[in-house]
Amino acid sequence: MSERELARITASAPRRALGVGALGGLGLLLIWIAVATPPVSVLWMAFLLVVGFVSLVLAQLMWRATGISIVLTEEGLFDSTGQEIARTEDIVRVDRGIFALKPSNGFSLLLRTSGRTVWRPGLWWRSGRRVAVGGVTAGHQTRPVADILAMRVAERPAREA
C-alpha cells in the first residue's frame, strides 16, 4: 500500500449502530419467539433458531468489519489492515447511478480481472470482477472517492497515449 493517502472512508457511527442493532435485534427476536412461543412443528422451531443464530453471527461480523476503514491511495483502494480491494489500473468502470448494483451511499467498480470473493458486511464486498463499497458509510466520504476513481479511469487513455 502506498504511503500517500488521498481519501479515507469510515463507517458512520449511527449507521453502524443501527445496522448491527437491527441484525442483532432480529436474531434475539427470532430466538425469543422460538423459545417463548414454540411453534407446533419442530422444523419451524429449528428454522427460527438457525436464522436467529445466523443473524447474531452476522451482527458480530458487521461490527468487526465496520471497525476498519477504506483508504484510497495512488495505487488503489485498500482497507486499513492493508488488504487490497482494487488497484487503480485494474478499474474499468465506476458506477454510482440510481440503478447501479451498489450499497447504500456507495459505488461499485468493474475490474479487468477477477479476484477472490470477499465480504465485509456494511463496508465492501467483491465477487468476481465486481467490487462494491458502501453500506454504513457516509455519502460525503464515498462520493469524493468515486469521483477520484472515475477521473483516473477517464484520464487513463490520455496517459497511455
pLDDT tens string 86-104: 998 899 999 887 777 788 8
Beta bridge partners of 111: 91
119 SS3 class = strand
Question: What pLDDT does residue 4 have?
Answer: 86
91 and 60 within one domain: no
Average pLDDT over the chain, rounded to an integer? 91
The closest alpha carbon to 82, from 92, 73, 91, belongs to 73
How many domains are contained in the chain? 2
153 and 93 within one domain: yes
pLDDT tens, position by position, 24-44: 999 999 999 999 998 899 999
61 and 122 within one domain: no
Question: What pLDDT does residue 103 have?
Answer: 84
Question: What pLDDT does residue 35 have?
Answer: 94
94 and 42 within one domain: no
- pLDDT above 70: percentage of residues in the chain: 96
153 and 124 within one domain: yes
Give the Cα separation of 153 and 160 in Å (integer): 11
Question: What pLDDT does residue 127 have?
Answer: 93
58 and 103 within one domain: no
Beta-strand runs (E) in the chain: 5-9, 70-73, 76-79, 84-87, 91-95, 107-120, 124-133
